[in-house]
Structure 1
Amino acid sequence: MQNNIFSGLFVGQNLVTLKQVDSTNTYLKDMLSKSKPVPEGTVIMAEDQFAGRGQRENTWHTEPGKNLTFSILLKPSFVDAQGQYDVTRAASLGVYDALQPLFGGGLKIKWPNDIYYGDKKLGGMLIENILQGSQIKASIVGIGLNVNQDNFTDNTGNATSIKQILHRDYELKNILAQICNHIEGYYLQLKAGRTDFVRNTYLSRLYWLNEAKPFRSNGQTFTGTINNVTDNGLLVVEHEGKVETFNFKEIEFLNK
């Protein structure tokens, strides 16, 4: 395949397409562990990923050849460990911007790293950072996006796909190229020091922002309102007159 649909400077210029792999994140980590250097922006794309992973140790099931399952290698040495959630923000915004022209309204980013249309999950991310001291040596940005899959098994919860919503098939590599180009754009914003711009844009596109909604934490169900995400990625929720912050596994959205 020619890479001319990847119009960015480096993300996607080195594209490795695999027929089948357990996890593109694992494959990319294995590449990094070998002595040969791997260029920044390398993308590993799998036609069939049979052991994809998500947050909370969830598995990501996908029908072979129907969806996008890929990982991007970034080397954000300019981001310290405290700010590593900014890489998640940049990746989330890149996916959002790539898809937004297809959908218009209805698209949101669900904290910490899912892409939603209405109350349905279109895709998710698993970002694994390799630290060197207080800096990030490498970020492996794993993304799964439901594109042309028609049906989902019962255990996939509230999953949907672009095809289910828009009733047509889409060329996977064209969408991949758009995602890579937009992620690169936000990544370069971070590199240029425009961190506040990335954080504010992320917040403005957040699912359930400033809406009273049901949550569960520590076995307790409550109605709360998301009003912010801290610099280091904690969710800020106001309920019963007090403001609390939650880490990734400490709160559940009761949206199913």
Structure 2
Amino acid sequence: MSLKLIKLDAIDSTNNYLKELARNTTIVDETVVVAKRQLKGRGQMENSWQSQNGKSLTFSVLKKFTGFKIDDQAYLNYAVSVGVYNGFKKLEIKNVTIKWPNDILSYGKKVCGILIETQLAGNEIVSSIIGLGINVNETSFIELPKASSLRLVSGKDFILSEVLEVVCTSVLDALNLLNANAFQKIKTNYEENLFRKDQVSSFKDINGNLFNGIIKGVNSDGKLLIETEDEKIKAFGFKEVTLLY
């Protein structure tokens, strides 16, 4: 697969750049913007994403949809997560899992962050800009004990362009399943690879209360399903619960 690439030296955010480009020009589906340096990268809920020049990958992908309902938005997150997971498996990264909602881990440490922004028309998602930050060849994460890189978990250096090609292709393959309405397949793949699924784990709820539970999966609204100590399965939205590990 030949990617439709726009390469930049430095930019505040590849997501912002792609949004402006889509707003002001007619841009082709599956365009990818990659920056050597991203100055103001963002994660979920306006968290910042730290990247290292020449060692990290920061890029954004534009994907257009037809007939994709807003009510099915959770499957967009599932598809992107599964796509990155599949890409890492092709790169022979071991012990890859998806930490709900969309952090990609290897050996329990974060190696990829995802930020998804959607463009709406009526009750449909017409396009999405997917930002990805991948720790590739870094070997040091000061004050970030839960972060790692493909280099650290595999013991080998990677060529950034090859990682970009493999991960982008896998993400776009997964996103095309949405246009084929293969929602259940995507959700099943996502759930099969959830971090700490079916294991007793500790959590903190939005009020700061600690409790033990078992991750059982996710629902069609994107919520995490946790079996609590009273054997009831409860659904938690983003920021309503924190997994402690």
Q: TM-score if structure 1 supplies the norm length?
A: 0.91
Q: Deviations over 1:156-211 (max 9, x none)?
A: 34100011122221011111111121112212222122211111111111111111
Aligned to 1:236: 225
* Aligned equivalent of 2:65, options 76, 99, 105: 76
| Larger displacement relative to structure 2 (24-33 or 95-104) | 95-104
Q: 2:114 is paired with a residue of what secondary structure?
A: strand
Structure 1 runs of 4+ aligned residues shifted over 3 Å read: 101-105
| 1:39 CA displacement | 0.7
CA distance in structure 2 between the partners assigned to 1:246 and 1:69 by the alignment: 30
Aligned to 1:52: 41
Q: 1:236 is paired with a residue of what secondary structure?
A: strand
Q: 1:198 to 1:67 in 2, by over 3 A?
A: same
* Aligned equivalent of 1:90, options 76, 79, 94: 79
CA distance in structure 1 between the partners assigned to 2:244 and 2:98 by the alignment: 16
Q: Does 1:31 align with 2:21?
A: yes
Q: Does 1:191 align with 2:179?
A: yes
CA distance in structure 2 between the partners assigned to 1:178 and 1:128 by the alignment: 22
The residue type paired with residue 131 of structure 1 is L
Aligned to 1:175: 163
Gaps in structure 2 of 5+ consecutive residues: none
Q: Deviations over 1:84-129 (max 9, x none)?
A: 1211111111111111134464110111011001210011100011
Percent identity reads 35
The residue type paired with residue 149 of structure 1 is E
Q: Give yes or no for contact 2:41–2:49 (8 Å, CA) kept in 1.
A: yes
Tell me how large the CA RMSD over aligned residues is: 1.3
CA distance in structure 2 between the partners assigned to 1:157 and 1:22 by the alignment: 26
Gaps in structure 1 of 5+ consecutive residues: 1-6
| Larger displacement relative to structure 2 (166-175 or 141-150) | 166-175
Q: Deviations over 1:134-153 (max 9, x none)?
A: 10021010011100111112
CA distance in structure 1 between the partners assigned to 2:11 and 2:32 by the alignment: 14
Aligned to 1:3: none
Q: TM-score if structure 2 supplies the norm length?
A: 0.95
Aligned to 1:4: none
CA distance in structure 1 between the partners assigned to 2:138 and 2:11 by the alignment: 19
| 1:239 CA displacement | 0.8
| Larger displacement relative to structure 2 (99-108 or 243-252) | 99-108
Q: Give yes or no for contact 2:203–2:210 (8 Å, CA) kept in 1.
A: yes
1:23-172 alignment runs, 5 A limit: 23-34=13-24, 36-103=25-92, 105-154=94-143, 156-172=144-160
Aligned to 1:15: 5
Aligned to 1:222: 211
The residue type paired with residue 161 of structure 2 is K
CA distance in structure 2 between the partners assigned to 1:187 and 1:165 by the alignment: 27
